[in-house]
Structure 1
Amino acid sequence: MKDEFILDGASYLKKYKDKIADEFDHFYSVWVYDKYEKFPVLSYFTDQEGRVIRALTPETPSKVMSSLYPKQVEYENELKEEYKKIAEEKGFVVEPIVKSSIVQSPFKVCAYKLSGDERLIKKLLFSEKIKGLNYFSLSEKITDEIFEFILNNYKKYDEGIFYFPYMNEIHLFMKLPEGVPTEWKSLYIDIARVLKTKLIEKYDFVESSYKLPEMGIKDHALCVLKIPTNKILDLDFKNIYQQFLKKIEKQIEEIRSLEI
């Protein structure tokens, strides 16, 4: 498959050479993703010199950067089998979909795992470092423990928290508990907002976020946070969520007990 990919990419880039802007760098990219988005994306990139990069990424290249001239991939079945094998080795079952196109700089694809042509990788990593960017460079900060956590919590709920990786961050959607009476929901959220502010003041890598449409969830949010992907194990967010609920419920009980 690799030789086919290199030849395919080189000829495709050459074909559109006069139609793509010279001031940008370009790769031919092929990516495989799960139909139900329950596993990271397998992305391949090649340049006109035939240098190849292989990456496991949070999202498809077309979602985060300019994607031009999509085309059909003849070696689609090989890519699907490779993707299935990677997922199965980690205990996941996927339904692969393959897409391809020319992608244009600036390259904003983040990588959990990165391999391929060392010279090209070093060039891209160096470029990111001098610009203060953290896309492909993210792979240098992802330990085995962090990677396992990402896989096990990729776009799914765990004890009331929905984990949504996007680029070099993870958004944490903390669900408003079911059964909260309608008249108390706003108060729950207001108290959570105060607690969230205190948390952000205490930890400078924690930021406020919101429910993104891409999350595809209908639940009401108690609060939403985001943190750098490589910081996901620095705090026990399950415990933080439970502490939020306990403190909110304590305040609610005090308000309920007020006499007029």
Structure 2
Amino acid sequence: MARLSKGRKKVEIVKMKNESNMQVTFSKRRAGLFKKASELCTLCGAEIAIVVFSPGKANKVYSFGHPSLELLVDTFLGRDLPPPNDDDRHNHLIRAHRNTGQRGLNKEVMDMQESLRKEKAIGKSLLESGREAYDRVCESPIIEGLSQSQLEQLKKALESQKRKVEFEAELQQMGSDAPLPFLTFGSALSPTSGDGASSSHGPNGQVKFNTDGSYFDHNGKAGIGGLARDSVGSFPFALVLPIQCRDHNAAEAMAAHFAVKWLKARG
């Protein structure tokens, strides 16, 4: 049986009777309270002291203070602070440096949370758009009137578009800092070191690769160059595979794998 959800609704502000619900609510709201206080310190440079006692028999104490809970309590109570000595000055500088770093970290966390919120909103929007487009295609009367052969043709066309989208996504990722099985893609076909071998190609629609024998570092990063050829003409294709690979045949096979995907996406 599906679990029924109460959904989002306005919570009545009265003391809870259920002990378990009370503890959960206290934990969440306490964390939210301290977070808002930290944001206020970061944004406005405010000095804040908060002391919270947990409900129930445990009666635990939780506190938040900026720049220091003890300092703010003494200031609030009007206590005369002892005259500063060299150690106090040194400790004050340490606290000031630590607080400056904390404010910077708080700002970074807030910026990251905001970026994450925006990315989630974009992802949700794209997902909903994709579902709507899928529903429109599936519910279209045109689909219902197609024959078996026409449906097969439509399936092949959609699969072809899917491959093109996947490959385009790989190309866009390749331009970013995201790690991929290959790092460069272009006309760099000449060997930089090693025994070297010239690139060659077969008939249209076929792919042939020759590895250049280059190793750019001691971690086994292999450089592979070759020509991929289709009905339009020859296209230079170069890869740098960041893999532990000292076997040219294995590296060449991986290069051919991505080249075939490239040719299919172009077709």
Pairwise same-fold verdict (TM > 0.5): no
TM-score normalised by L of structure 1: 0.22
**TM-score, normalized by length of structure 2?**
0.22
Q: Which structure is higher in helix share?
A: 2
Q: Which structure would you say has the larger RCO, counting Cα contacts within 8 Å and 6 or more residues apart?
A: 1
- Of Structure 1 and Structure 2, the greater strand share is in 1
